[in-house]
Structures are given as structure tokens and as C-alpha cells.
Structure 1
């Protein structure tokens, strides 16, 4: 019984904390929770060419480690991280 009450309390605190962060983020600015923003934010992809020639050039993202191919010299326009799990 004490384990069940502890689990319910932890779940309740997590829901309350998550709701408070979402409300603060929508109503005020992101300056209220700078630590969570630094830890949980998603970094933009920085594409670096890995070599190769031809129509499609191979690029590797320094942020998430995904390999992608593009015809552009700057690399792909969007992150391909979500495609990794679908293959």
C-alpha cells in the first residue's frame, strides 16, 4: 500500500510540474525556466560533408549523428533524425 501511494504521489507531482512548465511557457517567457530549456531544447542540425561526388553528396549531422544525402552544397534543408526509427 505505501508503494502504491508513493507511486501516485510521484505521478501527481510530475503532472503538476509538467502542467506548470507548459503554462509558464505559454503565458510568460522562456526565461522563467532557463535550465530546462538548455537541457531539453532541440539543437539545429549542422551538416558536414563526408566526401563523395556525384549528384547526391553524403552529409553527417554534428548535432544528432544522422547521415543524409543532398544535392545542395549546404546539406539537407531539414533534420532526418525521425527517419532513422522508421527504417
Structure 2
């Protein structure tokens, strides 16, 4: 049996992980919605849409590329991401 303090800590951590996962899913949805209307998206624009910092946004965009959802075009700061569809 867990003490109240341990339970509260665990419950908070689980809620944080769930919220983080939901935020990442929402970010992917926002990026895909943007790409329905525009040919490509930059890391900077994705940051504005999602409210994430540069590294968080890079992680999301990179995961979407690994999953075959996006295709990077260019390298470094000038990289634009296009929908594979």
C-alpha cells in the first residue's frame, strides 16, 4: 500500500505524462491541418502553432518524418517539411 505522499506524487507524474502525450498528438494534428492549406512548414512556424520550443518542435517534426508522414526538404535552418500525401 502506498503512502498518501507517494500516491500523490505518482498520480501527478501520470497526469503529466498523459498531458505531454496529448500535447504531442495535438501538435501533430495542428501541423497536418496547416499542411492542408500550405505546401510546407518550417520549424519556426510549427513552434508558433504548437507553443513548443525549438527542440520540442524538432522532435515532433523528426518523429513525423520517421513515421513517413512528413518529408524534409533542405538542411539546417532552411529545412521545410512537406506532407508525404
TM category, shorter: 0.3 to 0.5
TM-score (norm 1): 0.39
Higher share of residues assigned helix: 2
Q: TM-score, normalised by structure 2?
A: 0.39
Please identify which structure carries the higher strand content. 1
Higher RCO by CA contacts (8 Å cutoff, separation 6 or greater): 2
